[in-house]
Amino acid sequence: MSRSGSGPPRPRALTIADLVAETDVPPATVHYYLRHGLLPQPKRVAANRFTYDRRHVQALKLIRTLRERRGLSLDMIRRIMPELLRLEAEDAFSPVMWDKALGPRMSRRRTPSARLLDAAKDAFAKRGYADVNVDDICHAARIAKGSFYRHYRSKEELFFAAAAALATDVTARFADVVGPQPVGVEQAGAVLGRLIEPALPVFLDLFARALQRRPGYPASAESIFGQAVLEIGRLIAGDGSAAELGSRAVGGAIADVFRSALGSADLTSRPVVLVPLPRGATP
């Protein structure tokens, strides 16, 4: 008996171009989501060629919808995505099913480590590294100080984690805002200025301490800033490498924030802000 008609039809393989056409998510953002575990792994069909399927289309649309309608972090979306992808498409986009998937996680609240990270991001951004201590962070996270060192070895380690998380947040939001078509450096800088401003005190603290050659800071700054400018640069159109374009856009964004902060000051030219390139990039 022939088995040619048995079983569900095999889903059509999709290329990265198909994903972009169906979802308006640029390739760089797709790759970013893959690296951070928000999408199922694609099927490798050649050394540098992969295929995708309807799960990837659904996941990309879900990410955008959940961020826009629920304001969920990428970390939370990553945790509930497998459960949503097991549902039929109509159910996956149902707010009732979102609540069902989120319920157990929200009822347990965040893990102690995640609560410490959230509290640290807020405290360091509002008050600066020097004016925040472990007691402050533990109080905000509602965690006993004695438990802090089960999750982070020091205030510095938590500061590095907070800076990296804020950079990831800015990069992901930038990818969501600019959409599928690469933007120019000036437009990218304007968008980044709005996104980066709340986190800028943390980045400036990290950069300043790296310039002072404090142990651990140069390597952390290079890793955090280097990855961010590369991710951003891949979404920018222009002459130069992704690292160069990203560095120019981030530098312009920081300059715009400075100009805004100075308010009525009569600035005749845009201040120059230098953003370190990733190791190996050509200046």
In this prediction, residue 109 has a pLDDT band, given cuts at 50, 70 and 90, of low
Tokens of 88: 């039929």
In sequence order, what DSSP letters do the residues of 32-62 get, joined into one string?
HHHHTTSSPPPEEEETTEEEB-HHHHHHHHH
pLDDT value at residue 270: 45
Crossing angle of helices 95-107 and 54-70, rounded to 10°: 70
> Chain centroid to CA 29: how far?
10
138 Cβ contact partners less than 8 Å away, ≥ 6 residues apart = 116, 119, 144, 145, 147, 148
CB-CB contact of 120 with 158 (8 Å): yes
Mean pLDDT of 178-182: 73
pLDDT, tens digit, for every residue of 41-79? 999 888 888 999 999 999 999 998 888 777 788 888 998
| Model confidence pLDDT, tens digit, residues 85-97 | 998 888 898 888 8
Fold of 16-107: Multidrug-efflux Transporter Regulator; Chain: A; Domain 2 (1.10.1660)
Ranges for all domains in the chain classified under CATH 1.10.1660.10: 16-107
pLDDT of residue 268: 44
SS3 150: coil
Percent share of the chain, pLDDT over 70: 86
Helix, strand, coil percentages (3-state) for the chain, rounded to 5, are 65, 5, 35
182 compared with 1, residue with greater pLDDT? 182
Q: Which residue has the higher pLDDT, 269 or 22?
A: 22
Give the pLDDT confidence score for residue 265 in this predicted structure. Answer: 47
Query: Tokens for 270?
Result: 């845009």
Residue 204, pLDDT > 90, answer yes
Looking at every residue in the chain, the average pLDDT score rounds to 84
Place 157 in a pLDDT band, splitting at 50, 70 and 90: very high
DSSP-based three-state secondary structure for 234: coil
Assess whether pLDDT exceeds 80 at residue 211. yes
Q: What is the pLDDT, as a whole number, of residue 196? A: 92
Half-sphere exposure of 277 (CA within 13 A, CB side): 13
Task: Supply the pTM of this predicted model.
Answer: 0.62
Residue that is written with structure tokens 């390739």 in the block: 27
DSSP state of 14: B
Q: Are 273 and 258 in contact (CB under 8 A)?
A: yes
Which pLDDT score, from 0 to 100, does residue 115 have? Answer: 87
Per-residue pLDDT, averaged over 16-24, amounts to 90
Q: Are 120 and 139 in contact (CB under 8 A)?
A: no
